Amino acid sequence: MSSFPWLTVLVLLPLVGAVVLWVLPAAPRNVVRPVALAFAIAELVLTGLAFLAFDTHRAGEYQLTEVHSWIPAFGVSYAVGVNGVALALIGMSVLLVPLVVLAAWHEQGSTTSASNSLRRYLALVLALEAFVVAVFAARDVFLFYILFEAMLIPVYFMIGSYGGPRRRYAAVKFLLYSLAGGLVMLVGVIALYLKGPGGPQGFLTQNLVGLHLDPTTERLLFVAFFVAFAIKAPMFPVHTWLPDAAEQAPAGTSTLLVGVLDKVGTFGMLTLCLPLFPNASRWAAPVVIVLAVVSILYGALLAIGQRDLLRLVAYTSVSHFGFIVLGIFAFTSTSVAGSSFYMVNHGFSTGALFLLAGFLISRRGSQRIDDFGGLQRVTPVLAGLFLVVGLSALALPGLSPFVSEFLVLVGSFPAVPAAAVVASIGVVLAALYILWTYQRMFTGPVRPGLDTMKDVSSVERWAIGPLVAVMLVLGFVPGPALNLVRPAAQTTVQNVGVADLPAVASEGTAK
């Protein structure tokens, strides 16, 4: 099975689905959605088979690899491969896509023009899925850059064509921020190649690890890559595109944008910045950790003050990404494993929050939190789902985000105790913004006009149910997932060249 090109097929399958949907003649919605769902489920099944072909005992190594010469004159190769972290992120991504399709099952109208609009939207979703799988699997730095930029195209149109009244502003802001970071990264990519071994495979990451660079050059290259990844993540102070994009984008687009695309930023820090520039990573760590802690507190405080539901969820993500970056730059195997696991758990938790927000907004016709109230009497299932998913966002024990947040904090404390202590305040603030939001929207008297609101449909339960189930399973039995990400975390710490510090509590308590 190892000779089968798993990753290439995983990239091509949703691309084929996108082309099929795009060229499909005018068809009613009861044809368009099943076609999109069929391709998304087929991708999920194929990913499951790729997991079976992956040797978990060697999860710290890159497997399912393929290397083909692409542009040998410039040292560019089509090179893909995954370790445990990359495979886990691909699995999270391909699980979210069919759920996004399901969540949008009753959106749009039944007219031909509405069906055509939906057909193009779902084609963009599948195209985005292909780029995401490819970028997590890319093992050539130039290929990674191309995919890093290519992801912007479907997202730009998903926001600008299908979002709210200020969708064009939000889409352009998202594009400008991302392109600015990408251009800085491109300079770093070219400079890295010139400093590297060159040759027909000069951009392969395995050929660029361990380069002997002078300190100034290494630091400049690190900054070029890190800035692009910090914008994508997003981190304070280059995060301001996210609330606008999340507010204006459709709920399904926000799910993929924050749940999947933003992980490319922290994934890039983990798999490119640290191994390629270990000395510069250690040099920059104090400043990065300060920015991470600021992101944690700043995002949480702004989430508390939000009146728009989608902006609230966006600011919670700024806070959560602060935890992920803190764990990465604490340079302990426990904190890095926690951050890797956090990327996966955040995708499930925040993705579910955005989908539930979309359900509420489609029923009320408003994103303002103050326009809701008393819904636990009218829509008890919807209220219960929102509470469970909200509790996962505040890292309640028994739900998977708790495990990852716990590992980040206990793993960071031996290396940066002050940062870990201050960051833990974010846990308290998370309880405040989640529980207060639930209180305003679901408790108290029923607001006028909400007494006839419908509870979640069977299709919507299928969209949210798997996410809740995954969070519960990974919350009580995180061992298999941690076995995927822990070896890669240990390898990362070794590459950075720091002594691995023991956590303040045994990882066995999280198993």
Model confidence over 379-406: pLDDT tens digits?
999 999 999 999 998 889 999 999 999 9
In percent, the amount of the chain with pLDDT more than 90 equals 61
pLDDT tens across 296-326, in order? Answer: 999 999 999 889 999 999 999 999 999 999 9
Mean pLDDT of the region 418-433: 93
Number of independent structural domains in the chain:
1
Q: Is residue 473 part of a domain?
A: yes
Residue 294: pLDDT above 90? yes
- Does the residue 168 lie in any domain? no
Q: Please, are residues 93 and 133 in contact by the beta-carbon 8 Å criterion?
A: yes
In a domain, 380, yes or no: yes
Domain of residue 433: give its range.
284-511
Please provide the size of the chain in residues: 511
Alpha helices, DSSP H, located in 331-424: 333-364, 375-378, 380-393, 400-412, 417-423
H-helix or E-strand spanning residue 456:
none
Q: Is residue 427 part of a domain?
A: yes
Alpha helices by DSSP H, 196-308: 205-208, 215-232, 241-248, 251-256, 263-268, 274-276, 278-304
What value does the CA radius of gyration of the chain take, rounded to a whole number of Å? 22
Angstrom distance (rounded) from CA 356 to CA 16: 30
Is residue 347 a part of any domain in this protein?
yes
pLDDT at 102: 85
Mean pLDDT across 210-234: 91
Asked if residue 113 has pLDDT above 60, the reply is: no
Residue 319 lies in a domain: yes
Is 72 part of a structural domain of the chain?
no
In a domain, 420, yes or no: yes
Is pTM beyond 0.85 here? yes
pLDDT (mean) for 246-261: 88
Rama region for 410: left / alpha / beta (φ>0; ψ in -120 to 50; rest): alpha
Does the pLDDT value for residue 112 go beyond 90? no
